[in-house]
């Protein structure tokens, strides 16, 4: 596949998309997409390995090189095709490729690439958010299994997840960073209780998760026992780099672009937006998106070249969070009173979606590491400022 020129490959992708992408899915990633059409689209992507296009073919991936994978994503975004992504594809999978044993890769990566297993992330605890290494969830070895006891919070998708990748304390006497292990175990078992948390936009994507004697196989520890902090940090780099490269977040994308919304709401005079202040803010937003996209692309290229001295994943997460919040602020300014609806007559569906999206972006500078934490990481790891 990668022996094709980029132009030839793009042409092939366009033809394939026309044959396989249902018309009712050309609206980006949104809630409540038609299930039948989405199932057909996922099946088509799986057949080519294009849910994980850069993963090796033997693990269910597409085997594409970076340039061809970027060309694929560009073509899919051009037609606003839903991008099938998950914790498995964006965080756990890349981490397993680096730290997993061959047996672990063979067991877990193909189901992720086929979009068959839903994963959630067990990191934060009620008393361990920004200071994640202070986590208290315990895992005690009994034979060939660990018995897990404790609590996680802000666990996205836990109510629908099949498995969890979880940070647990396996040596309570070691320094806090040294006694942590990274382990995988199923959610559907005795000793696991999930309690959804209702959010500001009315959804309940986050949950509390309680473990009371849950079982995890010892063979599912990723990396060395008590060496999970290194694995955990690498996964966070994948998470933050993914956020920073998402150009405003594909999940929950609207039916129309921000620029289209502003043009519709404020009007155009002499070929430019009628509202000069919004025109300036929108132009700044588009420049920020482009700069962030190029910065994160450079970071990924440096990582592939093993130039790992500059960890700018936190920079990406910090700028992405502010950029997404600013974008939704612009949308609210353009909508005026029509952006203040919650339900009932007088508001269009897209306006209600924007209101909820604006509310949810208030959390973007908190989850995945607060802006303050990201700035500390940037100071230490990127700028190398002494403490």
Mean pLDDT, the chain, whole residue set:
89
**89 CB-near residues (< 8 Å, 6+ apart):** 51, 52, 112, 113
369: nearest Cα among 124, 103, 168, 61: 124
pLDDT band at 307 (very low <50, low <70, confident <90, very high): low
Q: Residue 251 pLDDT > 90, yes or no?
A: no
Q: Residue 271 pLDDT > 60, yes or no?
A: yes
pLDDT in tens, 82-110: 888 899 999 999 999 999 999 999 999 99
List, by residue range, all CATH 1.20.140.10 domains of the chain: 245-382
Q: Using alpha carbons, list the distances in angstroms from residue 82 to 23, 159, 288.
A: 11, 23, 23
pLDDT in tens, 111-150: 999 999 999 999 999 988 878 899 999 999 999 999 999 9
> CA 354 from chain center: how many Å?
20
User: In this structure, what token pair is assigned to residue 141?
Assistant: 């070895």
How confident is the model at residue 148, as a pLDDT? 98
How confident is the model at residue 246, as a pLDDT? 40
Tell me what the mean pLDDT of segment 156-170 comes to: 97
Residues 139, 145, 149: CA angle, nearest 5 degrees: 30
How confident is the model at residue 2, as a pLDDT? 62
pLDDT band at 303 (very low <50, low <70, confident <90, very high): low
Q: Residue 272 pLDDT > 50, yes or no?
A: yes
Instruction: Give a three-class secondary structure readout of the chain.
Output: CCCCCHHHHHHHHHHHHHHHCCHHHCCCCCCCCCHHHHHHHHHHHHHHCCCCCCCCHHHCCCCCCHHHHHHHHHHHHHCCCCCCCCHHHHHHHHHHHHHCCHHHHHHHHHHHHCCCCCEEEECCECCECCCHHHCCCEEEEECCEEEEEEEECCCCCCCCCCEEEEEEECCCCCCCCCCEEEEEEECCCCCEEEEEECCCCCCCCEEEEEEEEEEEEHHHEECCCCEHHHHHHHHHHHHHHHHHCCCCCCCCCCCCCHHHHHHHHHCEECCEECCHHHHHHHHHHHHHHHHHHHHHHHHHHHHHCCCCCCCCHHHHHHHHHHHHHHHHHHHHHHHHHHHCCCCCCCCCHHHHHHHHHHHHHCCCCCCCCCHHHHHHHHHHHHCCCCC
Does the domain made of 245-382 have the CATH classification 2.60.120.10?
no
Q: Residue 200 pLDDT > 80, yes or no?
A: yes
pLDDT band at 248 (very low <50, low <70, confident <90, very high): very low
Q: Residue 253 pLDDT > 50, yes or no?
A: no
Q: Residue 1 pLDDT > 60, yes or no?
A: no
pLDDT band at 255 (very low <50, low <70, confident <90, very high): low
Give me the CATH code for the 119-226 domain, please: 2.40.110.10
pLDDT band at 197 (very low <50, low <70, confident <90, very high): very high
Distance CA 377, CA 311 (A): 9
23 class by beta-carbon count within 10 Å (0-12 exposed, 13-18 middle, 19+ buried):
exposed
Residue that the structure tokens 């998402």 belong to? 246
Question: Regarding predicted confidence, which is higher, 121 or 378?
Answer: 121
Annotated catalytic residue: which of 239, 247, 265, 289? 239
List, by residue range, all CATH 2.40.110.10 domains of the chain: 119-226
Q: Residue 20 pLDDT > 60, yes or no?
A: yes
> CA 27 from chain center: how many Å?
19
User: In this structure, what token pair is assigned to residue 1?
Assistant: 């596949």
Please say if 302 is a catalytic residue.
no
How confident is the model at residue 249, as a pLDDT? 33
pLDDT band at 330 (very low <50, low <70, confident <90, very high): very high
Percent share of the chain, pLDDT over 70: 93
236-250, 262-276, 371-385: which range is least confident on average? 236-250
Question: Regarding predicted confidence, which is higher, 66 or 254?
Answer: 66
Q: Using alpha carbons, list the distances in angstroms from residue 269 to 259, 275, 293, 370.
A: 15, 9, 30, 41
Percent share of the chain, pLDDT over 90: 59
Distance CA 58, CA 61 (A): 7
Distance CA 206, CA 228 (A): 24
């Amino acid at each position: 596949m990668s022996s094709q020129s980029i132009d030839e490959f793009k042409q092939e992708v366009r033809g394939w998309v026309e044959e396989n992408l249902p018309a009712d899915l050309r609206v980006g990633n949104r809630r409540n997409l038609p299930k039948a059409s989405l199932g057909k689209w996922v099946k088509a992507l799986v057949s080519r390995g294009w849910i994980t296009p850069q993963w090796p073919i033997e693990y269910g991936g597409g085997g594409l090189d970076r340039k061809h994978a970027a060309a694929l994503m560009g073509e899919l975004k051009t037609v606003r095709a839903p991008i099938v992504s998950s914790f498995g594809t964006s965080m756990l999978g890349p981490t397993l490729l680096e730290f997993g044993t061959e047996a672990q890769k063979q067991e877990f990566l193909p189901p992720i690439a086929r979009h068959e297993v839903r994963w959630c992330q067990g990191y934060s605890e009620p008393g361990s958010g920004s200071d994640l290494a202070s986590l208290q969830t315990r895992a005690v070895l009994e034979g060939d299994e660990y018995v897990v006891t404790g609590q996680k919070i802000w666990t996205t998708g836990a109510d629908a997840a099949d498995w969890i990748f979880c940070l647990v304390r396996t040596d309570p006497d070691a320094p806090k960073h040294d006694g942590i292990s990274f382990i995988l175990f199923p959610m559907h078992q005795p000793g696991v209780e999930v309690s959804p948390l209702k959010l500001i936009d009315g959804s309940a994507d986050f949950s509390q998760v309680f473990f009371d004697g849950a079982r995890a196989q010892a063979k599912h520890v990723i990396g060395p026992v008590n060496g999970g902090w290194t694995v955990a940090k690498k996964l966070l780099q994948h998470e933050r780099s993914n956020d920073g490269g998402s150009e405003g977040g594909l999940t929950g994308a609207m039916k129309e672009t921000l620029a289209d919304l502003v043009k519709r709401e404020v009007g155009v005079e002499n070929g430019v937006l009628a509202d000069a202040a919004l025109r300036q803010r929108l132009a700044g937003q588009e420049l920020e998106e482009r700069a962030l996209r190029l910065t994160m692309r450079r970071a990924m290229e440096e990582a592939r070249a093993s130039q790992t001295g500059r960890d700018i994943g936190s920079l990406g997460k910090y700028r992405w969070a502010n950029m997404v919040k600013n974008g939704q602020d612009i949308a609210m300014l353009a909508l005026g009173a029509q952006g203040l609806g919650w339900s009932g007559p007088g508001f269009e569906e897209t306006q209600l979606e924007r209101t909820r999206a604006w509310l949810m972006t208030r959390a973007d500078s908190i989850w995945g590491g607060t802006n303050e934490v990201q700035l500390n990481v940037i100071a230490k790891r990127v700028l190398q400022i002494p403490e």
